[in-house]
A = this chain, B = another copy of it.
Amino acid sequence: MITVLCGGVGAAKFLEGLIALDQSQEIVAITNVGDDDVMHGLYICPDLDTITYTLSGAVNHQTGWGLANESWRTMERLKGLGGKVWFQLGDLDLATHLFRSERLREGATLEQVTKEISDNAGLKLKLLPATNDKIRTKLELVHPSGETESTSFQEYFVKYQHKPIVKDVFYVGSKSASLSPSVIEALEESERIIIAPSNPILSIGPILAIPKIAETIARRRSDVVAISPIVDGKALKGPADKVLEAFGYPASALGVAQYYRDYISRLIIDQIDSNSIDQIESLGVRVVATNTIMTTIDSKISLAALALTSYER
């Protein structure tokens, strides 16, 4: 069994490679739920859906999220009604949220619904929410105007397009979140644990904020490898670089290593960042430098293969 701690887009691409690698072990994706939100009464799980859509080949490749061949009739009419439309829900995408919301109301756990959706999509991995309990990532923002605001992740990320400065992040509910037997089994029994190239603070942070997960990952540090989502001082997507800096870490592979140092024994960084190898290894983290930019299926497979062999280095 191989367990991957996952955010959305970057994790989904990495999982594509890991699945295509076709190694013999079961793959388990323990996925961030801190971005989950209720919109218009519907239960939205952006990271779970991005992984499902990507791995089933249904994703919109232009955006990296949402569905291909999407239409927006509901949103267009909602706009006419004066409704909230900054979080765009496509007509096809809506079906996922209707299905999930109904099943949750019927008493299913998020893990059960996620299994139903991922089985329906034919996914060749076990997709698990980090917890069935509610964790919500809350941000303290400073707008360009100087005004401060406390927001949900989606407000920061989508409504404000991650432009405000992040002063602080809270993972509300994480301390009391419980783990399902499947999550515990994956964390304890997996031969290797991989932290996907996702936003350390905003995507992996909510997972590590669950005390039982943090303890287990720290205890299994020698089996844990992360892939840096920061290349040449910049996030490949989203605000990971800015948020690391806001928390006092350098916006670099070194910053990622500093953030994860208690949890990982190995870090895969981009070859362009090779000059930071010595500094990272001085933290007690072995470094493997390679091409980490996943543009083709071959580059995804290579990165996944390297993550599995990195322990031998």
Contact = CB atoms under 8 A, between A and B. Distances in A.
A92 B105 CA distance: 24
Contact of A102 (B84, B98, B99): B84
A40 interface: yes
Q: Give the contact-size bracket for chain A.
A: 20 to 34
Nearest to A121: B81
Contacts of A42: 40-42, 98, 101
Main secondary structure on A side of the interface with B: helix
Interface in A88-105: 89, 91-92, 94-99, 101-102, 104-105
B83 A95 contact: yes
Interface stretch (A68-76, A186-194, A262-270, A290-298): A68-76
B105 A91 contact: no
A99 B89 CA distance: 13
Given A41-B42, A94-B94, A99 B81 contact: yes
Nearest to A43: B41
A40 B98 CA distance: 5
A283 interface: no
Contacts of A77: 91-92, 95-96
A85 to B, nearest CB: 9
A80 interface: yes
Contact of A91 (B80, B91, B97, B101): B91
Contact of A74 (B39, B80, B94, B116): B94
A144 interface: no
A81 B102 contact: no
Contacts of A41: 41-43, 97-98, 101-102, 104-105
A181 interface: no
Q: Which of A38, A75, A78 has the most CB of B within 10 A?
A: A78
Given A81-B120, A91-B91, A98-B83, A105 B38 contact: yes
Nearest to A73: B91
Nearest to A75: B95
Contacts of A39: 102
Contacts of A38: 105
A101 B120 CA distance: 28
Contacts of A84: 102
Interface string A10-44: 00000000000000000000000000001111110
Interface of A: 38-43, 71, 73-78, 80-84, 89, 91-92, 94-99, 101-102, 104-105, 116-117, 120
